[in-house]
Structure 1
Amino acid sequence: MSVASRGQGLPLAVGGLIALMGSTAVITTAAASWWPNLTLLAATLLLGGITWLITRHRPGPRVLLGVLLFAGACQLPGLTLAPITSTDAYRYVWDGRVQLSGSSPYSHVPLDDSLARLRDPILFPGLSPEDRTGVTGPPRVPHDAAALAAVSADDPRTRINRPRVPTIYPPVAQAYFTVVAFLTPWSAGTFGLQLAAAALAVGVTALLATELRRRDRDPRWAVLWGWSPMVALEAGSAAHVDVLAAGLIVAALVTAVRRRPVVTGLLLGAAAGVKLLPLLLLPAFTALRRQSLTTPIVAVGAFVASYLPQVLAVGTLVLGFLPGYLGQEGFSDGSSRSAILALVLPPAARQIVTGVLAIALAVLAIRLHGRQPIAVTCCWLYGAALLLTTPTYPWYGLPLIALAVLAGRAEWLAVPVASYLAYASFGHELRQGLLHLTAALIVLTTTHARSMAAAVTSAGEAAPV
């Protein structure tokens, strides 16, 4: 097969896989939820087409300004509404408010009567400060699955999810919640966090565009993040803290290229202090040489140091609901929820295979250190981790969108898209598995085609004239 025929066949193959993803999402979901799925998929494909078209022309002198202005405009609709995709922002507001009061969200649950003075009609529409719930004392997270499900159930009297369990968010995220809570009046509800997340999303757009230009790449590719419907949903609308984690990861990669290992480690440790998932990127910054261990050592040190004040204040309660959450997600009881592996393997085998593959990927990332751009390594390392574990919540993929833009690997955007489509099929492992498998096939097909094209190009350059 010639190179030309391969180039013509690739769009058809990838297009067929995208069509399969869309049809799976539409056919296998309920009638009430297929329309948002189709809209998200269509909007993402439209964005990809627009990006491809605008990057065919030479950028003008004010291209960055236009990219940023439209990125800001994409965030505006979400600011006019309450969070759509989840209620996490209400927990963020509560955590910040609790810390400002001098208490700890690790040692008190939202329904705790000792914090009744912090209730307001927005967070607690069914409870006033004078009402009593009977919940007092340090939180206890049970190990039994049935008891864990009962204690983590929602309560109609509050918009805060899991109001009978402590927070799950790490200390750097808590510091962010506290700062925003200090600047936001109670009557504004989640608006302060939504505005902060929208500003962060635009800031990440600027950082990506600036870095792309510094690397002699078209800065307009940053629109895949800044104009993304997924980013708009999770920043200006849902205010998810993953936007902050994405920004810190991008900043870490920017400083890594400029050979500032200590700053890179601090930024990466801070990202892990926002959401634990950035710890998965440590192998990409590790090499079997003493001078290449600075970044991971500093990152782990910064992450641990962020927990020390909380440990001194509340002791082991600093773990919050994390053990219970890992149990519900199948990471601590031997029943990994990997939707792709669930298509062919029983729970116990899934846990083993996931562990083996995770170790293999980490070793591969270490071996590739210095042989390919670190952004590329981080992109496939983070994306592969999401495909292996297929977490329930799609906003976990926000850092992957930023990594895909910085690495120039747009095919990885299929993974967060699949996560959103699977989110509407929660509880149906077959549907979730098929959607994530399709995303994996898109990534593998495109990656193979890129490798083949690079090999042909290298052979052509090496051939005599």
Structure 2
Amino acid sequence: MTAKLVTGGLLAAGISAGVIAAESANWWPNLVLCTAFAVVAAIVWLITRQPPGKHPILYVVAVAALCQLPGLTTAPITSTDAYRYAWDGRVQLSGSSPYSHVPLDDALARLRDPVLFPGLSPTDKSGVVGPPRVPHDAAAVTALSTDDPRTRINRPRVPTIYPPVAQAFFTAVALVTPWSAGTLGLQLAAALLAVVLTALLAVELRRRGRDPRWAAMWGWSPIVALEAGSAAHIDVLAALLIVAAVIAAARRKPVVAGLLLGAAAGVKLLPLLLLPAFTSRRLHTPLVAVGTFVASYLPHLLAAGTLVVGFLPGYLTQEGFSDGSSRSAILALVLPPEARQLAAGVLAVSLAVLAIHRHGREPIAVTCCWLYGAALLITTPTYPWYGLPLIALAVLAGRLEWLVVPVAAYLAYASFGHDVRQGLIHLAAAAVVVTTVALRHRPNAGREFDVPVEALRH
């Protein structure tokens, strides 16, 4: 292995450490993150111009593991979601349901510990008792979902929002994690998943005749280091399952693809948006995916009844779906609130029809990439880590222009509360994508915007 390859890998790992440090110290964290992402992308591009060496996959995976290490040295930075994950797993191990109880419920006081509840001991009374009730009024939902200084768990007065496969993951991690370790078990698990996905991408890229080192665009990404090893976001598991589903579909294993896609939807609901990309005449994959997703809810439905929907109605209320509006930052630039949801719905249906129409005409990885990316641009969700699966899909599909969408999401997140600025940031990302796609499809387009089609069709 050449000195340039070693230097590039070590530099990428050092950049991840720098991002974690900047986030911890709040030194312009999102700007540093986006700049670091661009630098790492340049490093990966330069590395792919070097001879691959003897073990390119091992090289990429080893550096990916190094990139995850800095995040494991601190508590979660970008959000407190991991504390909720740890709590949900602990509740399930106790024989209760996180859909039936909120974290502050005194009925679960015996499960409190100083890490998750620094201001509330098992003998203290929180004053919260009984099954959760999520109101429909936006103001009431906002008031109910505020944080409480007695616990590190976010929204401790509302039930969980996470679907059953995510809950199974939380439970498995909680089973082997001591309470005193807090979120470390989840961080380690997320870091491991990120490294496994790096290996999966590298192996699949080589099978398709492409340079496996492009998998470093995922594995060495400072965004992945921040949201996996540090924040332990469950979106990493969703990304792994989505990529596995796409690979299975490309290898003509529709039932396996359906099981994996349904499992991904059981982690985060967003993968359901990819169903049109898997639709064929036989409909095997979509039916298996929906069946898997529904079946995952059945045990919780028996245990919690209608409470199994958790905080999902409240979340949709906060995002503006209950009053007919939508928080879409791009649509907000040109449409009044009452028209945004209709416009978003029309765009979503149009994209679904296009994805079905494109079935068999382009690699399924490409369809999933633009379908998922376009969905993020239409809805512009508040939380930027929702874009993690898009990073993996862009690498697999060879459509790296879509990487600007998750990067833009972090810049928009830093501008929270400035609606016009957020909209312009997302619009700029959309413009980059549209321009690149237009250049790719122009007559006699150069190869710099694409990878060989024959390689993608494997």
TM-score normalised according to structure 1 size = 0.89
Aligned counterpart, 2:375: 385
Matched, 1:282 2:272: no
Distance in 1, matches of 2:446 and 2:64, equals 38
User: Secondary structure in 2 aligned to 1:436?
Assistant: helix
SS of corresponding position for 1:82: coil
Aligned residues: 423
Q: Which residue of the partner structure matches residue 49 of structure 1?
A: 42
Question: In the TM superposition, what whole-angstrom CA distance separates every residue of 1:29-61 from its partner, at most 9, and x where no partner exists?
Answer: xxx978223211211111111111111123122
Distance 1:440 1:245, change over 3 A: same
SS of equivalent to 2:361: coil
Separation of aligned partners in 1, 2:172 and 2:324: 38
Q: For 2:380, give the aligned amino acid.
A: T
Is 1:169 equivalent to 2:171 in the alignment? no
Give the drift of 1:192. 0.0
2:332 matches 1:339: no
Instruction: Tell me how far 1:229 sits from its aligned partner.
Output: 0.6
| Contact 2:93-2:171 within 8 A present in 1 as well | yes
> 1:118–1:453: structure 2 CA closer, same or farther, 3 Å change rule?
farther
Which residue is 1:462 aligned to?
A: none
- Alignment-derived partner of residue 125 in structure 1: 118
- Residues 33 and 424 in structure 1, CA contact (< 8 A), matched pair in contact too: no
Say if 1:106 and 1:319, in contact at 8 Å, map to a contact too.
Answer: yes
Q: Identity across aligned pairs (percent)? A: 78
Letter in 1 for 2:348: A
1:198 is displaced (CA, Å) by 0.1
- CA deviation profile, 1:200-237 (whole Å, cap 9, x unmatched): 00000000000000000010000000000110010000
Distance across 2 between alignment mates of 1:43 and 1:310: 42
The CA distance in 1 between the partners of 2:36 and 2:183, in whole Å, is 26
- Distance of 2:29 and 2:437 partners within structure 1: 29
The residue number in structure 1 matching 2:19 is none
* Aligned mates of 1:73, 1:456 — CA distance in 2: 35
Kindly indicate whether residue 362 of structure 2 is the aligned counterpart of residue 372 of structure 1.
yes
Report SS of the residue matched to 2:120: coil
**Cα offsets for 1:133-171 (capped at 9, x unmatched):** 111111000111221111111001000000000000000
Q: Distance in 1 between matches of 2:242 and 2:321?
A: 24
What's the offset of the Cα at 1:323? 0.3
Secondary structure of residue in 1 paired with 2:432: helix
Q: What residue number does 1:87 align with?
A: 80
Name which of 437, 445, 450 aligns with 2:440: 450
Matching of residues 217-256 of structure 1 within 5 Å = 217-256=210-249
Q: Is the aligned partner of 1:430 residue 2:423?
A: no
How far apart are 1:306 and its partner, in Å?
0.3
Q: Are 1:183 and 2:176 matched, yes or no? A: yes
2:419 paired with 1:411: no
2: CA distance, partners of 1:381 / 1:34: 34
| RMSD of equivalent CA atoms | 1.2
* SS of equivalent to 1:452: coil
Secondary structure of 1:212's partner? helix
Q: Structure 2: how far apart are the matches of 1:347 and 1:188?
A: 45
Q: Is the contact between residue 267 and residue 299 of structure 1 (CA under 8 Å) also seen in structure 2?
A: yes
Counterpart of 2:93, as a letter, is L
2:391 counterpart (401, 415, 420):
401
Cross-structure match for 2:342: 352
One-letter identity of the residue aligned with 2:389: P
- Residues 439, 445 of structure 2: 8 Å contact kept: no
Structure 2 counterpart of 1:202: 195
Structure 2 counterpart SS, 1:153: coil
| Separation of aligned partners in 2, 1:49 and 1:403 | 19
The structural deviation recorded for 1:333 is 1.9
Q: How does 1:308-327 map to 2 (within 5 A)?
A: 308-327=298-317
SS at match of 1:426: coil
The unaligned stretches of length 5 or more in structure 2 are 1-24, 448-458
Offset, 1:348: 1.0
CA distance in 2 between counterparts of 1:392 and 1:456 reads 36
Q: CA deviation at 1:454?
A: 5.2
* Displacement after TM superposition at 1:456 (Å): 7.4
SS in 1 for 2:266: helix
Distance, in Å, in 1 between the alignment partners of 2:381 and 2:320 is 10
Change (3 A) 1:165 1:53: same
Using the alignment, how far apart are the partners of 1:127 and 1:64 within structure 2?
48
For 1:303, which of 293, 304, 312 is the aligned residue? 293
Q: 1:58–1:163: structure 2 CA closer, same or farther, 3 Å change rule? A: same
1:404 shift after superposition: 0.2
